[in-house]
Amino acid sequence: MAFIAYLLFQSQNYLAPTILLGLLVIQFYGLVRFLNATNYKLVRFLESVRYSDFTSSFGADNSLGKSYKEINLAFNEVANAFKQTRAEKEQNLLIISAVLQNIQTGIIQFDSKGEIGIINTMTKKLLLTPQIKHLDDIKKSRPEIHQRLIELKPGKNELIEVNSEIKLSINCSILRMGEKDWKIASIQNIYTELQQNELDAWQNLTKVLRHEIMNSITPIATLVGSLTDILREDGVKMKEGYLIPEESQEDLKLGLKTIENRSRGLINFINAYRDYTSIPSPQFEKVNSKQLILYVSRLLSEELNKSNIKIDLQLPENEVEIWADEEQIQLILINLIKNARESLYTHQNPQITIKLIVAQKNTYINVEDNGQGIVPEAIERIFIPFFTTKKDGSGIGLSLSRQIMQLHNGKLNVVSKPGELTSFSMQFPKAI
Q: 259: pLDDT confidence band, cut at 50, 70 and 90?
A: confident
Whether 142 shows a pLDDT value over 90: the answer reads: no
Q: 135: pLDDT confidence band, cut at 50, 70 and 90?
A: confident
Residue-wise pLDDT for 2-37, tens only, equals 887 777 777 767 777 788 888 888 988 888 887 887
Q: Which of 138-147, 201-210, 291-300 has the lowest mean pLDDT?
A: 201-210
pTM over 0.85: no
Q: What is the 3-state secondary structure (H, E, C) of the chain?
A: CHHHHHHHHHCCCCHHHHHHHHHHHHHHHHHHHHHHHHHHHHHHHHHHHHCCCCCCCCCCCCCCCHHHHHHHHHHHHHHHHHHHHHHHHHHHHHHHHHHHHHCCCEEEEEECCCEEEEECHHHHHHCCCCCCCEHHHHHHHCHHHHHHHHHCCCCCEEEEEEECCEEEEEEEEEEEECCEEEEEEEEEECHHHHHHHHHHHHHHHHHHHHHHHHHHHHHHHHHHHHHHHHHHHHCEECCCCEECCHHHHHHHHHHHHHHHHHHHHHHHHHHHHHHHHCCCCCCCEEEEHHHHHHHHHHHHHHHHHHCCCEEEEECCCCCCEEEECHHHHHHHHHHHHHHHHHCCCCCCCCEEEEEEEECCCEEEEEEEECCCCCCHHHHCCCCCCCCCCCCCCCCCHHHHHHHHHHHCCCEEEEEEECCCEEEEEEEEEECC
Please indicate whether residue 344 or residue 425 has the higher confidence score (pLDDT). Answer: 425
Whether 313 shows a pLDDT value over 90: the answer reads: yes
Average pLDDT over residues 414-432: 86
Q: What is the CATH number of domain 104-189?
A: 3.30.450.20
pLDDT cut 90: percent of the chain above it: 10
Q: Sketch the domain layout of the chain as residue ranges.
A: 2-98, 104-189, 194-277, 285-429
Q: 385: pLDDT confidence band, cut at 50, 70 and 90?
A: low
Looking at residue 153, what is its pLDDT? Answer: 85
* Of the options 3.50.50.60, 3.30.565.10, 3.40.120.10, 3.40.50.300, the CATH number for the domain spanning 285-429: 3.30.565.10
Average pLDDT, the chain: 80
Looking at residue 355, what is its pLDDT? Answer: 93
Whether 360 shows a pLDDT value over 60: the answer reads: yes
Please indicate whether residue 164 or residue 18 has the higher confidence score (pLDDT). Answer: 18
Average pLDDT over residues 179-199: 77
